[in-house]
Amino acid sequence: MAISPEYIALLRVGIRSSPEWREAWDRINDYLDALKTPDSTDRELILLASFERAIARKRGEPFTPATELAFEETQKTLDSSLGHLIDGEIPGVSRSVEERVRLYLTESVDGNLLGREDELSDEVLQALREVKLQAAPSLQIASIKQRPLEFTPAGKGFIGLAKRLSPIGASRVIVWLIGLAILAFLIFSSLYK
Amino acid sequence: MFPRCEQGWPGLNDPGRWTVRILRGTMSGNDRSGKVVGLIGSSAFEEAFQEKVRNRRWAVALVTFGISLLGLWLLFDVLGAGGWTTLKAAELVLFGLLFTSLSFGFSQAFLGFLVLSEGQEPLKITNTLDEETPLASTAIVMPVYNEGAETVFGNIRSLYDSLQERGELDSFDFYILSDSTDPSKAVEEEFAWADICRQTNGFGKIHYRRRKLPVNRKSGNIADFCRRWGHRHRYMIILDADSIMSGKAVSSLVRLMEVNPRAGIIQTMPRLVKAQTVFGRIQQFASRLYSPIFAAGLNFWQQEAGNYWGHNAIIRVSPFLSSCGLPGLPGKEPLGGRVLSHDFVEAALMRNAGWDVWFAYDLDGSYEGLPPNLTEYVKRDRRWCQGNLQHMWFLLAQNIRPISRIHLVQGILAYVSAPLLVLFVLMGALQAGLDHFHGRVGMFPSASAGVLFLMTFTLLFGPKVLSLIHLFSRSRDAAAFGGPLRVLMGAIVETLFSILTAPVLVWFHTRFVLRNLAGKTVVWNTQTRDSGGPSWSEAVHEYWPLPIIGVVLAILAWWISPNYLLWISPLLVGLILAIPVAHFTCHRSLFGKLFATPEELHPPKELSGDFRLQLREGDQFVHAVLDPFYNAVHVALQRKRQSVSTASSEYGAALANKLFKEGPDALTAQEKRALLTDGHNLGYLHTLIWKTPAEMMHPAWAKALTEYRSARRAVRHQPDIIEAKLASVQPAVA
């Protein structure tokens, strides 16, 4: 990754003078923080390479916000760092997602995978190439047999009776009247016993 | 029939045990043990077993109905002294129902006490446990609904670690089956799944699935699991979100199923744990102290015709698929429609199909949480009440076995007994009022009334005393509770507490039953498992009718007779003090050392794990949009669903744009759920927000983005420092 001293001087001036680029710098740093990328030379290299290209693009695309250019170029830098861990057949739109999945899987207290590929064994790298996040296993379809409830003759009779009486139960007034009638009967029959 | 049961039922080898007596005639010489094995599962053994079980059931019935008849006779004597009235006859009928239910509970506890005192029960499923039995493929299934991810995944992690430690993980797969409708909870669960898999290297072993629609609630959730992956496993162990099981308990259940090929379900006896509040700790203490004798008594008579409580149990998948499909009920909810409480019904259907349902009541390592306060306890009861009332349809159905019917009736009576009790008390008060009106007070024969009072007292509190006797007879067990004195003090305070809360529960159960009968249904709410409890104002709002009812009843009772007031005062005190009791028992600091349980004093490993998920604070849905890892995990998991229609895709894009323009609170929960199923647009939104300058997006997103800044960088985030850093990098890159 070749970065010219002239570019660094330019970047320094740019950050100092341009609120737009300062915001872009902050945003990309926040994104790298969210990716748990540790403060290291590798992180700086990602930033410098991305901003170099973003500034270059800005000359040709003056109306595109610096934040957008910087984010896209950072994404490209990440692609170039992690692309070898992603299956070539995965379309471009999904590559960023797959890269982040791999960064997440290798995240530790010391940071993520970025710049640490050399520390990983071939087996781990191979596993990372093959990883496919899947929350549930493949289906092995079965069916649950439902049998309708069959009632006894007494049960059927009870259900029939309940159906006939349900209009009475549906009316609060009738229910109250019946309740009060039962109460009156109980009191009356108990008073004069 | 019992291919790997070399040890058989241990009771077979004990001189004097029934099995030995039965088999003695057929065994001789050195080949005795071999013949025992041969006989197990034979028709002779089966007949002997069935006869013994029949005898046990007769014994329970005799004790229960003997006590009930005695009580009825005494009340008949008491009520008949002043002449019979319709009210008194109705009272007698109600008393018969209530007293039989009470005496059944007492008989169970008493027989359980005898079983435990004897030290050995020949007829229990755990006697067949053989640690050498190979394990079989088993799914650990945990249905969840808007639960806290820390609890759910912490409990799964605890079991995972325990099985890993035992070297038995290969036989198990874990399934977290989510029905969560809260978008934030759904995202949290998903990321928690990824986190636990990453921490344990459990990808491919710990699975997570969320249904778009929670059709048929928990039973539908499990049925969906069975349809998708039922053929992958021979057994499934059902856990609740607050269930914890040890690896040993889980593998023992699998082994028990393997050596008992007729077993369709084995239910464990979960111990209540992790309570923090006074209410929770009292329930936990009471359950730990009193439940052993009830459990032993329950197993004594139910044997292979046991019940299923919906969790902490193992189920044989194949018969579950073929026999336990829940039927629709006549009519609409609350009493008809879909079965709400599925567990009892599934046990009954399993029994119908000829499979055994056992209760492994003495299998250690099975735990569950409990509601933290009276209000949450009552809310849970509201769901259970409706579910149990629905079971009345099964009492009218064909082919339900008698013992299953008893289980169903017990479940129904657990709630219906409350309005019956209220009716009984009101009838008694009415009769007392009428007697007072006629000047017939004080005509009760004191001897019968006194004996009946003592009998009722014994039935209510006898099991507690028997439990204490059982515990004190085992000094090591008593020491595990913190010593006999502390247990005794705890039991006394617990008894007072139960006297205070009983009328409150009766009130609520009565309301629930009446509301259900009036056609009002319950809403399926998430159970709150770890909150404190109601504040004063909330307690007043929820319990205000109770003190009023208590005072009114006290005045009426005083008017009838001061003696009558004294008679019903335990009931009235509970009603009048309902508000302070509900409020104070949700505190955490009261009764610090009282109500200690062995699990609290010496937590087993599975309860003492301190598992922490690495989740971000705040709205998890926002993290699914912004956090690069949350977003990646979620979008990667949606990949299978990429074949969406153009209309869905356009809807997703519209939602993403609305969210971008109007901020994180712009969408409804339903819209958020819809967007979550659209990985493509969620990925697009993530990129869009991160690359858009702050002034061009909703301020809430700009603010949310800054929260991803690391704490370290936030402190030293100054342009000068950046320059200095760049200068230091320069030599390295030049």
Q: Is B366 within 8 Å of B269 (Cβ atoms)?
A: yes
Angle, helices A66-82/A41-60, rounded to nearest 10 degrees: 130
Res B528 pLDDT > 70: no
Nearest to A140 among B86, B229, B734 (CB): B229
- The DSSP call for residue B312 is S
Would you call A186 an interface residue with chain B, using a CB distance cutoff of 8 Å?
yes
Taking the C-alpha atoms of residue B667 and residue B655, their distance in angstroms, rounded to an integer, is 8
Portion 62-101 of A in contact with B at CB < 8 A: 65-68, 70-72, 75, 93-94, 96-101
Provide the pLDDT for residue B4: 34
Asked whether residue A145 is domain-assigned, the answer is: no
H or E stretch covering B177: strand B172-178
Residue B706 corresponds to which amino acid?
T
For residue B334, pLDDT over 60 is answered with yes
Q: Judge: A141–B193 Cβ closer than 8 Å, yes or no.
A: no
Distance CA A32, CA B419 (A): 64
Are both A25 and A97 inside the same structural domain?
yes
A139 in a structural domain = no
- pLDDT value at position B532? 63
**Measured between CB atoms, which of A135, A149, A190 is closest to B87?**
A190
B511 by Cβ neighbours in 10 Å (0-12 / 13-18 / 19+) ranks as middle
Q: Is the pLDDT of residue B606 over 60?
A: yes
The 10 Å CB-count burial string (b at 16+, else e) for B31-68 is eeeeebbebbbeeebeebbeebbeebbeebeebbeebb
Average pLDDT over residues B74-97: 90
Euclidean distance between CA atoms B57 and B52, whole angstroms: 9
Q: Which of the residues A104, A132, A188 would you substitute to probe the B interface, choosing the one with the greatest number of B C-beta atoms within 10 Å?
A: A104
Please list, residue by residue across B179-189, b when 16 or more beta carbons sit within 10 angstroms of its beta carbon and e when fewer do: bbbbbbbbbbb
Which amino acid would we find at residue B696? Answer: M
- pLDDT band at B272, cuts 50/70/90? very high
Is A164 part of the contact surface with chain B (CB cutoff 8 Å)? no
**What letter does residue B270 receive in the DSSP assignment?**
P
Of the given ranges (A14-23, B375-384, B616-625), which has the lowest mean pLDDT? Answer: A14-23
Give yes or no for a contact between B246 and B559, defined as CB atoms under 8 angstroms apart. Answer: no
pLDDT tens digits for A85-98? 888 888 877 889 99
User: Residues B11, B122: contact at Cβ < 8 Å?
Assistant: yes
Q: Give the residue numbers spanning the domain of A57.
A: 5-130
> A178 — contact with chain B (CB < 8 Å)?
no
Neighbours of B524 (CB within 10 A): 14
Sequence ranges of the domains in chain B: 620-733
* pLDDT computed for residue B23 by the predictor: 33
Asked whether residue A24 is domain-assigned, the answer is: yes
Continuous segment of H or E residues that includes residue B141 = strand B138-144
Whole-number average pLDDT of chain B: 87
Task: Give the range with max mean pLDDT: A91-95, B254-258, B338-342.
Answer: B254-258
**Residue B20: band (very low, low, confident or very high) from pLDDT cuts 50, 70, 90:** very low
- Over 70: is that where the pLDDT of B461 sits? yes
Q: Calculate how close chain A gets to B316, using CA atoms only, in Å.
A: 13
Rounded to 10 degrees, the C-alpha dihedral A43/A49/A55/A58 comes to -100
In DSSP terms, B175 is beta-bridged to B141, B207
Residue A111 and residue A172 in one domain: no
ipTM exceeds 0.90, yes or no: no
> Residue A124 falls within a domain, yes or no?
yes
Give me the pLDDT at residue B641, please. Answer: 56
Find all residues with CB under 8 Å of B256, minimum gap 6, and list them. Answer: B125, B126, B128, B129, B263, B266, B314, B358, B360
User: Whole-angstrom Cα distance, residue B694 to residue B692?
Assistant: 6
Given pLDDT bands bounded at 50, 70 and 90, which one contains residue B730? very low
Task: Judge if A81 and A123 occupy the same domain.
Answer: yes
Question: Is A49 within the bounds of a domain?
Answer: yes
The whole-angstrom separation of Cα B675 and Cα B686 is 12
Three-state DSSP at A148 gives coil
Split into its structural domains, chain A has a count of 2
Tokens 């006074």, residue located: B278
Cα distance between residue B57 and residue B51, in whole Å: 10
Instruction: For residue A140, give both structure tokens.
Output: 């092995």
**Which ranges of B230-276 would DSSP assign to H, the alpha helix?**
247-259
Judge if A157 and A95 occupy the same domain.
no
Task: Record the pTM.
Answer: 0.89
Kindly state the helix (H) or strand (E) to which residue B236 belongs, with its residue range.
strand B235-238
With cut-offs at 50, 70 and 90, classify the pLDDT of residue B444.
low
- What is the chain A residue with the closest CA to B323? A145
- The pairing of strands B172-178 and B138-144 is parallel
Does residue A144 belong to any structural domain of this protein? no
Contacts 24+ apart (CB under 8 A), B520-526: B520/B334, B521/B333, B521/B334, B521/B386, B522/B334, B522/B382, B522/B383, B522/B386, B524/B145, B524/B214, B524/B217, B524/B383, B525/B379, B526/B145, B526/B146, B526/B147
C-alpha closest to that of B501 among B423, B571, B568, B554: B571
> CB distance B690–A71 less than 8 Å?
yes
Q: Is A14 helix (H, G, I), strand (E, B) or coil?
A: helix
3-state helix, strand, coil in chain A (%, to 5): 70, 0, 30
Two tokens, residue B574: 């509970």
Assigned token pair, A80: 């170039």
Of B708, B730, B733, the CB nearest to A30: B708
State the DSSP code for B337. Answer: B
With 50 as the cut, is the pLDDT of residue B729 above it?
Answer: no
pLDDT of residue B656: 95
Shortest CA distance to B326 belongs to which of B307, B313, B341?
B341
Q: How confident is the model at residue B442 (pLDDT cuts 50, 70, 90)?
A: low
CB pairs under 8 A between A and B: 224
B203's CB contacts (< 8 A; 6+ apart) are A133, A134, B197
Q: What does the block give as tokens for B575? A: 């009603």
pLDDT in the model for residue A172? 82
Residue B697 near residue B689, CB atoms below 8 Å:
yes
The SS3 assignment for A137 reads coil
CA distance linking residue A112 with residue B676, whole number of Å: 26
Q: Which SS3 state, helix, strand or coil, does residue B271 take?
A: strand
User: How far apart are the C-alpha atoms of B327 and B95, rounded to whole Å?
Assistant: 35
User: Cα–chain-centroid distance for residue A143?
Assistant: 31
Does residue A76 sit in the same domain as residue A121?
Answer: yes
Q: Give the list of residues 6+ apart from residue B725 with CB closer than 8 angstroms, or none.
A: A44
Predicted pLDDT of residue B638: 87
A105: which chain B residues are within 8 Å (Cβ-Cβ)?
198
Q: What is the mean pLDDT of residues B191-216?
A: 93
Distances (CA, A) of B193 to A169, B149, B206, B225, B459: 49, 9, 8, 17, 49
Q: Which of A149, A164, A188 to mutate to test the interface with B (most CBs of B within 10 A)?
A: A149
- Does B234 score more than 90 pLDDT? yes
Would residue A142 count as lying in a domain? Answer: no
Q: What angle do CA B605, B7, B350 make, to 5 degrees?
A: 75
pLDDT for residue B5 is more than 50: no
Least confident of B34-38, B120-124, B381-385, B525-529: B34-38
Residue B401 in contact with residue B531, Cβ under 8 Å?
no
What pLDDT sits at residue B261?
Answer: 94
Residue A46 lies in a domain: yes
**Which phi and psi angles does B528 have, rounded to 5°?**
-80, 125
Q: Kindly give the residue spans of alpha helices, DSSP state H, lying in B353-474.
A: 374-390, 392-395, 402-437, 446-472
> Best-predicted range by mean pLDDT among A20-34, A79-93, B424-438?
A20-34
What's the N-to-C CA distance of chain B in angstroms?
A: 80
Q: Choose the mutation target among B629, B687, B703 for the interface with A, i.e. most A CBs under 10 Å.
A: B629
Nearest to A100 among B396, B629, B692 (CB): B629
pLDDT at res. B100: 96
Please tell me which of the candidates A25, A33, A136 has its beta carbon nearest to residue B209.
A136
Q: Which of B498, B508, B501 lies closest to B577 in space, CA to CA?
A: B501
Helix, strand, coil percent content, chain B, rounded in steps of 5? 65, 5, 30
Average pLDDT over residues A173-181: 89
Encoded amino acid at B684, one letter? Y
Residue B568's nearest CA partner among B718, B429, B364, B389 is B429
Residue with tokens 């008679």: B567
Per-residue DSSP letter, B357: E
- The tokens for B468 are 């204490």
